[in-house]
C-alpha cells in the first residue's frame, strides 16, 4: 500500500534504501525538499531514542554531534534528482570530514521535531562545504558549516 503525504519526497523506508546508516545512526525520518543546492528533512525525537539514556544525568538531551550527523545525512540528498535515486536505490556514499563553526544554541529534547536545512556553500571535486541549520518550532537550535566528501 502506498501512503501519500503532501510534504514528503522520501519516507523512512526509502531513506533506508538510499543511505548506508542503520539504527541507531540513521537520523532522518523524512525528506521534504530537494533542489540542486539545498535539502530539507525532518528528525522526530522520541523519548525512546537510545542516545537520551544517560547522556546527561538529569536531563534528556540529544548530543550535539548527533544533530551534526542529522545535517550531514540530509546533505546526501542535495542536487540528485529524487526520481533517479528511487530508480537506482542508492545515493553517493558520504562522509563528514569536519564540522566547523558549529554552534548549539538550545538543546533538542524528547518530543521535538527537528527541521534540518542544508545549503551548498562551495563545491570542489568530490567534496562540498555546506551550511546547515536545525530548528524546532521556528527557533534555530544548531547551525554551522561542515565539509562532506562523496564517493560515487
Catalytic residues: 55
Rounded Cα gap, residues 143 and 28, in angstroms? 17
Residues paired with 114 in a beta bridge:
43
Distances, alpha carbon 7 to alpha carbons 25, 52, 71, 140, in Å: 24, 28, 19, 21
- Whether the CB-CB separation of 134 and 107 falls below 8 Å is answered with no
Q: φ and ψ at 17, to 5 degrees?
A: -75, -20
Amino acid at each position: 500500500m502506498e501512503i501519500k503525504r503532501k510534504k514528503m519526497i522520501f519516507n523512512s523506508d526509502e531513506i533506508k534504501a538510499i543511505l548506508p546508516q542503520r539504527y541507531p545512526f540513521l537520523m532522518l525520518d523524512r525528506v521534504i525538499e530537494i533542489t540542486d543546492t539545498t535539502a530539507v528533512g525532518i528528525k522526530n525525537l522520541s523519548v525512546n531514542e537510545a542516545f537520551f539514556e544517560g547522556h546527561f544525568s538529569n536531563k534528556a538531551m540529544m548530543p550535539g554531534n548527533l544533530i551534526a550527523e542529522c545535517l550531514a545525512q540530509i546533505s546526501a540528498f542535495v542536487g540528485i534528482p529524487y526520481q533517479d535515486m528511487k530508480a537506482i536505490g542508492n545515493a553517493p556514499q558520504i562522509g563528514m570530514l569536519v564540522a566547523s563553526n558549529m554552534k548549539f544554541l538550545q538543546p533538542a529534547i524528547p518530543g521535538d521535531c527537528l527541521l534540518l536545512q542544508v545549503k551548498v556553500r562551495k563545491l570542489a571535486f568530490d567534496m562540498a562545504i555546506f551550511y546547515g541549520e536545525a530548528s524546532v518550532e521556528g527557533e534555530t537550535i544548531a547551525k554551522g558549516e561542515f565539509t562532506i566528501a562523496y564517493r560515487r
